[in-house]
Amino acid sequence: MYWKDNNRSGPATPNHPISTWTPVNIKVTGLQKDSSLGYTDYMIYQAQDTTIRGANVTWGAENTTVAQGNQNGLDTWILQAGSQDIHAIRGTHLSITAIATASKGRAMLAFFQQKGNDVRMYSRDVLNTGGLWSAAAQDPVTPST
């Protein structure tokens, strides 16, 4: 991942160049080579093993970090149903969003494909980083003849 500051009114420094693509100081390892990325509260991506994963990234140019948490010391997760890792078709398009809930919280919704002709949605409370995901599926509609 890279960042670029286009604000030419401030001074450039060795750690904060202006108008130059610069790598962030975090790395996402094991990324599926044709994965799409999504971001709303969490960055979401597909790993090489086809699982859907997320990381709590705080964007800040040269100060970009992954928040502290319970997974190897970082706030990251693997999308699971119960204790079962969820897999998507290789190279699936990913989308993530967050919405307000009736209990005044926020739910995170992740969308992707598991079969190729479907759309899967999994949701979880944003603040409950160890919480369970719940699933909703939309299989293709067959046109009537």
pLDDT of residue 52: 93
Contact between residue 107 and residue 90 where contact means Cβ atoms under 8 Å apart: no
- Domain assignment present for 22: no
Contact between residue 43 and residue 52 where contact means Cβ atoms under 8 Å apart: no
- Domain assignment present for 1: no
What is the pTM assigned to this prediction?
Answer: 0.79
Model confidence over 39-75: pLDDT tens digits?
888 889 999 999 999 888 888 888 888 887 766 667 7
Spatial neighbors of 29 by CB under 8 A, at least 6 apart, are none
Neighbours of 32 (CB within 10 A): 20
Model confidence over 11-49: pLDDT tens digits?
899 989 999 999 888 877 788 888 888 888 888 999 999
- Domain assignment present for 35: yes
Given a cut of 80, is residue 139 above it in pLDDT? no
Q: Whole-angstrom Cα distance, residue 101 to residue 94?
A: 22
Contact between residue 119 and residue 113 where contact means Cβ atoms under 8 Å apart: yes
In single-letter form, the type of residue at position 72 comes to N
- Domain assignment present for 68: yes
Model confidence over 88-112: pLDDT tens digits?
999 999 999 989 888 888 888 999 9
In single-letter form, the type of residue at position 78 comes to I
Domain region containing 78: 28-138
Q: Whole-angstrom Cα distance, residue 107 to residue 139?
A: 22
DSSP H or E run through 44 = strand 42-46
pLDDT of residue 110: 92
In single-letter form, the type of residue at position 34 comes to D
Residue 132's pLDDT band (cuts 50, 70, 90): confident
- Domain assignment present for 133: yes
pLDDT of residue 85: 93
pLDDT of residue 137: 64
- Domain assignment present for 8: no
Number of domains in the chain: 1
Measured in residues, the chain has a length of 145
- Domain assignment present for 122: yes
Backbone angles phi, psi at 82, to 5 degrees: 70, -125
- Domain assignment present for 50: yes
Residue 144's pLDDT band (cuts 50, 70, 90): low
